[in-house]
Structure 1
Amino acid sequence: MDCANALKTSSRWHLILATFLAGMSMMASAASKPAVHTVIIDGMQFSPATLEINAGDTVIWKNKDPFPHTATSLDKPGFDSGEIRTGGSWRYVAKKRGSFPYDCTLHRTMRGVLIIK
């Protein structure tokens, strides 16, 4: 192989490697961005009842019932939405890892679990 061909082959490999590394970098940055999750309150229940998320993610509880509810962790310290009015919502940024059972303090039969990885 002469020098010109060797240079072309080397340049192609550098281009392929650079493209691969750029793609990997974009995938890593996309994977590390916090996500937003929604829990719908409707029919006297949380949906989904169990939600698994990553630390740094945001959870939004949206109340579609005709009366107020809360999303209050059973373990203290934890999270407490206070009353979420009809048509209202509350957002929480998950920081502490673990499994957090929660309920509506106004309707104790309504239960959910937030799992933070």
Structure 2
Amino acid sequence: MSLAGVSEAAAKTYVIVIEQMRFNPPALTVHRGDRVVWVNKDLFPHTATAMSKTFDSHEISPNASWSYVARQSGSYPYLCTLHTTMRGTLIVQ
């Protein structure tokens, strides 16, 4: 089995909850191949949009979710484009 196969098999899923106009946790460290799921528990839509444009959820409706598989190592600050004071950071190792 290749190393790529091993890392894919060991991939984990992490959840970031959007609630009370915040990303919780505000910073999350994952490994390449891991899945990150943003779950919107607010009453209005939000986005999870990397400032580098690496990922963009577009609008996540209330009680909906969006997921992203981290493929590139790096630090990715992100925000909600609808509420720009909402910010978080995804760190991929």
- TM-score norm. by structure 1 comes to 0.72
What is the alpha-carbon distance in structure 2 between the residues aligned to residue 49 and residue 110 of structure 1? 9
Superposition map of 1:29-108 within 5 A: 33-76=10-53, 78-108=54-84
What RMSD in Å do the two structures reach over aligned CA positions? 1.3
Paired residues, number? 87
What is the alpha-carbon distance in structure 1 between the residues aligned to residue 52 and residue 39 of structure 2? 22
Q: Once superposed, which parts of structure 1, at least 4 consecutive aligned residues long, lie more than 2 Å away?
A: none
- TM-score norm. by structure 2 comes to 0.90
Residue 34 of structure 1: SS of its match in structure 2? coil
Q: Larger helix proportion, structure 1 or 2?
A: 1
1:2-48 deviations in Å (ceiling 9; x for gaps) = xxxxxxxxxxxxxxxxxxxxxxxxxxx69x60000000000000000
Structure 1 residue 112: deviation in Å?
0.1
Q: In structure 2, list runs of 5 or more residues that go unmatched.
A: 1-5
Q: In structure 1, list runs of 5 or more residues that go unmatched.
A: 1-28
Q: Report the equivalent of 1:25.
A: none
Q: Using CA pairs below 8 Å that are at least 6 residues apart, which structure has the higher relative contact order?
A: 2
Residue 82 of structure 1: SS of its match in structure 2? coil
Greater radius of gyration (CA): 1
Q: Larger strand proportion, structure 1 or 2?
A: 2
